[in-house]
Amino acid sequence: MSETIEKVKCLIIGSGPAGYTAAIYAARANMKPVLYQGTQPGGQLTTTNEVENYPGYPEGITGPAMMIELQQQAERFDTDVRDGWITRVDFSGPIHKVWVNETKEIHCETVVISTGASAKYLGLESEQKYLKLGGGVSACAVCDGFFYRGHEVVIVGAGDSSCEEAHYLSKLCKKVTMLVRRDEFRASKIMAARVKNTENIEILFNTETEEVLGDGQVVTGVRVKNNVSGDMTDIPATGFFVAIGHLPNTGIFKDFLTLDETGYIINVPGSSKTNIDGVFVSGDAADHVYRQAVTAAGTGCMAALDAERYLAAQE
């Protein structure tokens, strides 16, 4: 363990749109924020090839380029951006304690959690290949559906979110094929009825993905297997969407913060406050509804303002 304990006025955990926006506001308020980038600097957007729905970029921008610009903007106001990740916290007392890489101890007056959530994928080698290439695999229909206008796409999932995303895609795409592993939806009846009644959505029950097909650069189809008959089928498609849920990156906080059944941090409605005074949350670590870069940035602003007001009240 480090012999020297660092004291920080505002510690920001995470480096996506929420974390960097919190840093910009905190730095401009003279809170001298320290930001740790975590295991995935830039967050989920670094896996997004094109971002066209974030205000201020009329020509669009790649996810990694956008994160570099946000980091530069935060550093312009003297945010201390650091490599490393928080491995342990102790919010049990009046001092908020965190440990970086299990070696460095920091005592914080305020903490802004912006650790985000990770999309769940099937784990197929072919799926991960085209995900990394940016050639047709996505976990966000709202983010990427626009690129598949007039195309045929496949979506995997059986819950409310997958039905919602399939319905969204049906408005843009020529055909949407839904792959449901069981013989029924997990979604609510109203959501299931919505996709069943949409003309250009075909639902394949008892069906699992065997392989994402492609030409080495982009997706060209999906090979599926009927888990009852064993029959294999190749479905032509240029897009493969995975809608089987997200996992919030909040495990290290579970002993101190109130989480919902999935692991999302529960905030006080209308604010970024958690159940611990001086600890705030922003972005996808608390948001399981919208999960957009622009909404994450908005809550990052809220968290910095809430932290500033908390510090002012302590004086």
Catalytically active residues, by annotation: 140, 143-144
Nearest partner of 27 among 65, 72, 66, judged by Cα: 72
| C-beta separation of 258 from 278 below 8 A | no
Residues sharing a CB contact under 8 Å with residue 76, sequence separation 6 or more, in sequence order = none
* Helix count and strand count (H, E) for the chain: 7, 17
Distance CA 250, CA 232 (A): 39
Distance CA 2, CA 104 (A): 5
Q: Copy the structure tokens of residue 194.
A: 């919505």
Distance CA 152, CA 223 (A): 14
The stretches of the chain forming alpha helices (DSSP H) are: 17-28, 63-76, 125-133, 141-144, 160-170, 189-196, 293-314
Question: Dihedral through CA 40, CA 45, CA 50, CA 55, nearest 10?
Answer: -140
| C-beta separation of 27 from 33 below 8 A | yes
| C-beta separation of 45 from 134 below 8 A | no
